[in-house]
Amino acid sequence: MKTIRFPDGTAVPALGQGTWMMAENPARRGDEIAALREGVQLGMPLIDTAEMYGEGEAEILVGEAIAGLRDKVFLVSKAYPHHASARLLRQSCEASLKRLGTDHLDLYLLHWRGAVPLGETVEAMERLVDAGLIARWGVSNLDMDDMAELIDAGGHACATDQILYNLTRRAPELDLLPWLADRSMPVMAYSPVEQGRLLSHKALAEVARRHEATPARIALAWLLSRPGILPIPKAGSVRHVQDNRAAADLTLSDEDIAQLERSFARPTARRGLEML
């Protein structure tokens, strides 16, 4: 599978797995755990979670899913903005580690910008790196101005910006994506199938028919065809995770890409970064 390289040189397979809204329905728990484990076995080691998801319940589920697999997993979690301070970040990180049943995260993100000054978060993140609790850190939902401020505040080691990016959310192509690419910073694309809403679109269905594939596969293959993009679809079943994994083996033709990009046109004017 194609890999994505973080600025420190670490490479990870370009297709990851999300976990938002997992652990919310006890009847689906077994399927969700099986899906995450299948994803790791299929070569999608990056698992994205957050202390916010189910107020810790998603992290507990991930901990259960990766038991015995920790060394195969690239584990990502996120801190609430109001926990991203000198006083509270370590506490939050340690609580996440405990729920996940591990002693370190591969990547720890600020979930979105809040009231804590970015420079204070950078220092708190660096202290977690020094303490060996996290291997690297990054941010999420930060637009270009915030990113520039982060770098000015000493955040040169920022590994990634995790943002809303899919065929229906192409505005970041106008400004934020080139800005990040200039700094060799990969992008984690969240809600890559727009939480399922994208999948009934006619153009996706047409391209999918040509490849005897599903619309989800096509939407993910489009993201994977772009440099520096790491989509993190959430799949709650083995069937969906296998379908998503197949996207990494699908090559879209120039004609497919042109059709998709015509149907999901890039906005012409800049607009602020959207978030879900």
Rounded to a whole number of angstroms, the minimum distance from the CB of residue 160 to ligand NDP is 11
Question: Which residue, 54 or 131, is less far from ligand NDP as judged by CB?
Answer: 54
d(CA 200, CA 77): 31
Query: What is the phi/psi pair of residue 264, to 5°?
Result: -115, 75
Strands 11-13 vs 46-48: parallel, antiparallel or unpaired: unpaired
Question: Which residue, 46 or 128, is less far from ligand NDP as judged by CB?
Answer: 46
Rounded to a whole number of angstroms, the minimum distance from the CB of residue 55 to ligand NDP is 15
Q: Which residues are catalytic?
A: 53
Question: Which residue, 82 or 87, is less far from ligand NDP as judged by CB?
Answer: 82
**Quick check: 137 and 109 in contact, CB under 8 A?**
yes
**Quick check: 107 and 73 in contact, CB under 8 A?**
no
Residues with Cβ within 8 Å of residue 21, at least 6 apart in sequence = 53, 54, 58, 234
Rounded to a whole number of angstroms, the minimum distance from the CB of residue 96 to ligand NDP is 14
Rounded to a whole number of angstroms, the minimum distance from the CB of residue 144 to ligand NDP is 17
Question: Which residue, 151 or 199, is less far from ligand NDP as judged by CB?
Answer: 199
197, two tokens: 């809403």
d(CA 264, CA 243): 22
Provide the Cα torsion 27, 30, 31, 32; round to 10°.
100
Binding interface with ligand NDP (CB under 6 A): 18-20, 48, 111, 140-141, 162, 190-196, 199, 214, 216, 232-237, 240, 243-244, 275-276
151, two tokens: 């770098």
Q: Name the residue with the smallest CB distance to ligand NDP.
A: 18
Rounded to a whole number of angstroms, the minimum distance from the CB of residue 241 to ligand NDP is 7
Question: Which residue, 130 or 212, is less far from ligand NDP as judged by CB?
Answer: 212
Q: Rg of the chain over CA atoms, in angstroms? A: 18
Classified as helix, coil or strand, 175 is coil
Residues with Cβ within 8 Å of residue 87, at least 6 apart in sequence = none
